[in-house]
Structure 1
């Protein structure tokens, strides 16, 4: 600042940065090796490959406690004779493969196996057929009707098993059932207090209707979700070529959704093959054990007849059958990957 002759103070011009005389310039960066920053003390980084295993460790531990340990105990039990006497005396009697040889030589066991396989095949075929058709219908409906149908499917899917079995038992009731009333209304004779649970076959048919009704929503909604991934240009190309609806499905929809059909069919096989609550709650596996499937057969032999070792062997054989089905499925998956 300077003062002129009039006594007025004026500010001196500010020098440009770095141009003022006598001022030091910005020091150059050090020429030595750069200093490596160390993480703060108390916090050490995990090895790169260890973190994913630590994240899945709780889930693996829970599965080991809830699934693996009971499975191992079940395998051990299948090699023992555990009946009412052994339960009272707490005596461990090892009998090796005697439970398995007894089952494999029992005609009743093979009858239940054939019944379970046929029951599973019929259910899965109907579920996949009707679920696919309803999924295609969802894809063609407008927004409002699609919403209504989707809500109806969700309500059917969300209904508890015991509640749905109770409803179906009322529908097919001998005296007050709606089905008997409907058959009489349509003019059919012989449905005055007709007993729909008189035979094991008719009981399984009712259970099959229940299982199909409860499983269709899963297939239909997933089918609709898969159809949304198929490009509209493929449908337009098929229409330009003059393809019918059936030809369009086999040439456009099925090739694009083949993985969906494979995984859904496999999941339905597992779901139906191990279905227990619906079969048992409908008629307790009766009459005369004529509607037993493998899970119900194992339950009745175990808790009903108190042959716990034999029941464990039945459950292990059931698991082996499912593993055989899984191996077939995984071979199909690997074959498809090799072709693609």
Structure 2
């Protein structure tokens, strides 16, 4: 009998150890991180050059006790240590302003984001010409200076010559010579409507651009499977929009938390205590009552309160860049 040679065994390609795969990936991610920081470096340098010295002076001033005497004489203010911070943190008026600012931020940002998302969804369903008209109209609103917008709303709600009172009176309601800022709830409603109206264009246009990244095939498949529009929005559209929603919401929080122009202009530069926010309260203490160090301490506390939000925003920006 003849021995039958067994067929040759095919040579196996050597498998690269997982560690060798991980090293190039890790090097590539480190290289991309360095490139991201290098691209961000010019902006960071400009921001530091513009903000570092004023922020440093504000922090130093918050540990001193500067009054009009030192301001006019040029003398170095006496050192006060943490007295200004102790005064602020133990002041019930200050904490009332903090709570009012936080409540306004939550309400205004929630309304702005919901309205912006609703308009963005509407823009994806209307005719292209209508969509262009909506975008142009919102860009005009976005380009309008905050002071001009505030003065327009002040005229609309004027107690003697306001258009709003005139229209409500014509509708049979007794709103002749009605002042919208006697009642704080009505006054803050006017301020909130102004802020939401001015913030919708940015949110709507940004979210409308984000909706273009939602695959139509997924929405069509969900419709064929019997999903309702709400289910498609919740399970498909919103998860895809989540990174963009996080960014625009964080930006809105930063902007609305620093509210100054709207309530300052609507109250003719003299906002009553019930209409004070952290920004106006700091300004009033520093330049209205000549408590410059106390106003600086309030401003520093405001920056610290917003620091967490700003760090969160920067982290989200870098996360989106890594995904892209």
Matched, 1:292 2:276: yes
Matched, 1:124 2:103: no
Q: What does the per-residue CA deviation read over 1:293-322, in whole Å, with 9 as the maximum and x for residues that have no partner?
A: 000000111111111101110011001111
In the TM superposition, what is the alpha-carbon distance from 1:65 to its structure 2 partner?
2.2
In the TM superposition, what is the alpha-carbon distance from 1:289 to its structure 2 partner?
2.1
CA distance change for structure 1 residues 161 and 334 in 2, over 3 Å: closer, same or farther?
Answer: closer
- Determine the structure 1 residue equivalent to 2:80: 95
More helix by share: 2
Q: Distance in 1 between matches of 2:125 and 2:41?
A: 45
CA distance change for structure 1 residues 222 and 51 in 2, over 3 Å: closer, same or farther?
Answer: closer
Matched, 1:182 2:153: no
CA distance change for structure 1 residues 53 and 198 in 2, over 3 Å: closer, same or farther?
Answer: closer
Q: Distance in 1 between matches of 2:198 and 2:148?
A: 12
- Determine the structure 1 residue equivalent to 2:136: 151
- Aligned residue-pair number: 290
Assess if the C-alpha contact under 8 Å between 2:121 and 2:208 holds in 1. yes
Q: What does the per-residue CA deviation read over 1:56-84, in whole Å, with 9 as the maximum and x for residues that have no partner?
A: 76544432221111111111111010111
TM-score by length of 2: 0.82
Assess if the C-alpha contact under 8 Å between 1:200 and 1:289 holds in 2. no
- Determine the structure 2 residue equivalent to 1:247: 231
Give the alignment partner of residue 108 of structure 1, picking from 66, 89, 93.
93
Of 90-99 and 120-129, more deviation after overlay is shown by 90-99
Assess if the C-alpha contact under 8 Å between 1:204 and 1:291 holds in 2. yes
Assess if the C-alpha contact under 8 Å between 1:285 and 1:292 holds in 2. no
Assess if the C-alpha contact under 8 Å between 1:168 and 1:210 holds in 2. yes
Matched, 1:222 2:206: yes
In the TM superposition, what is the alpha-carbon distance from 1:110 to its structure 2 partner?
0.3
Give the alignment partner of residue 260 of structure 1, picking from 244, 249, 255.
244
Unaligned runs of 5+ in 1: 1-49
CA distance change for structure 1 residues 254 and 54 in 2, over 3 Å: closer, same or farther?
Answer: closer
Matched, 1:140 2:125: yes
Q: What does the per-residue CA deviation read over 1:156-208, in whole Å, with 9 as the maximum and x for residues that have no partner?
A: 1111112111110111011111111121122222x110011224443222111
Of 155-164 and 212-221, more deviation after overlay is shown by 155-164
Give the alignment partner of residue 147 of structure 2, picking from 162, 168, 171.
162
Q: Distance in 2 between matches of 1:87 and 1:333?
A: 42
Stretches of 4+ aligned residues off by more than 6 angstroms: 50-57, 330-338
- Determine the structure 2 residue equivalent to 1:24: none
